Amino acid sequence: MTDVAVADAVDAYLQRKARGDPDGPGAGTYAANAESVLRRWVEWLAEERGIRSVFDLAPDHMRAYAEELRDRTESGAYAPSTAGTYYAVVRAFLSWCVRGGILEANPAADETATAALPVTIEGDAGEGWSAERRRTLERHVRERAIEASSDGFDREERCGRLREYALVALLVYSDVRGSELFRVPRDDRRTGAVWEDVDFYTGTIRVLGRSQRLEEVPLPAPVRTPLRRYRVALDPPANDWPLFPTRHAPSIARRVRDVLAERGHEEGEIESIMDESTATELARERAIAPPAITTEGARSVLRRLCEDAGVAGEESPTPRDLRGDRPVGYRREASGSSPALRATVLEQTIAVPQRRPVFEVVDAREDEESN
């Protein structure tokens, strides 16, 4: 039998779905929604597993894919339901391959593969996180922020407490997800929200939603007040400054070195500059935006705050725990965007199927509480 490339089979599948497939789950709309999922899966197979032929697919490869989805769920990048949907799209494609005689069996249907998926239980969001626990945590960080406004607290301590108050308020009162606020190391599109994305006049924040489109999310009054106070204390030197910059010194130093090199400084000159001040000071002086805190770093901060507030449980809290299981509120597609974010989205949508790394190794040190 002639070899069949996975990418070619996906192309044929999407073309069939775009015309409407009476044996499948939908027509053109399904093809549009499934395309990005399948393209990334094809990239992952080739780059992480070296698989390019449909005939080489095995349950082990689908188990590895399920494990990647589970890891991304645990990092806060995906909800369990989203990971399940992505896997289901790939499984549907492979079922089509079986019906077409390309494969004898569907490797995604193997129990060893599906067992690795994150558990999806209806209503599991925020399990064990009552409204009272959320109120207790919010009250704790609010009182700490108010206390820091009095004499006896230096600028860094005051800014740190206002930062914690703003972070908790965003997660408790708004519909912004953690993966939209913080940096997701294994997704180069999700670099964290920046101040240019916040519009206090309209009371909205612009984020890259799960739809992979820029969305405007309302910021209720309980969010806007702590966010304004935090911005005054932080005093970001540029609009592309992250809302929640990392405090991991090595990460900031790497960013400063990279930007100085991009600006034309020689290696010796960079070393001399770095010897004069700390990386954090240089970032401010030269308006070099540091990386944003990671999703794992945010979880570390939340764990510490929950312990201080006396509401810590057996497991580390996630941004989703603070949001609870309330339905996502009204969102609208953003009419404008920051140049950097707009360029990133265009690169990912217009150039399909563009090849790029999907999963990459992350320096775990960046996820420590130094964020």
What mean pLDDT do residues 168-193 have?
Answer: 90
Average pLDDT value for residue range 293-307: 91
CA distances from residue 21 to 14, 29, 30, 92, 242 in whole angstroms, order as listed? 10, 12, 10, 12, 45
Q: What is the pLDDT of residues 101-115, one digit of tens each?
A: 888 889 998 888 888
* Rounded Cα distance, 198 and 50, in Å: 42
Residue-wise pLDDT for 181-226, tens only, equals 999 887 888 999 999 999 999 899 999 887 778 889 999 999 999 9
Phi, psi at 332, each rounded to 5°:
-135, 155
User: Which position has the token pair 């609870």?
Assistant: 324
Check the CA dihedral 351-354-357-359 and report its sign. Answer: positive
Q: What is the pTM of this model?
A: 0.61
Give the 3-state secondary structure of residue 238: coil
Structure tokens at 215: 């969305």
Domain spanning 6-114, CATH architecture: Orthogonal Bundle (1.10)
Secondary structure letter of residue 117 according to DSSP = S
- In order, the DSSP letters of 128-154 are T--HHHHHHHHHHHHHHHHHTTSTT--
pLDDT average, residue stretch 134-158: 89
Distance of CA 74 to the CA centre of its chain: 11
Q: Which residues pair with 206 in a beta bridge?
A: 216
Do 6-114 and 131-243+293-359 come out as alike in CATH topology?
no
Query: For the chain, which residues make up each domain, given as ranges?
Result: 6-114, 131-243+293-359, 249-290
**248-268 average pLDDT score:** 93
Looking at residue 346, its pLDDT comes to: 37
311 in Cβ contact with 131 (< 8 Å): no
Phi, psi of 217 (to 5 degrees): -115, 130
CATH number of this structure's domain 131-243+293-359: 1.10.443
Which pLDDT score, from 0 to 100, does residue 207 have? 92
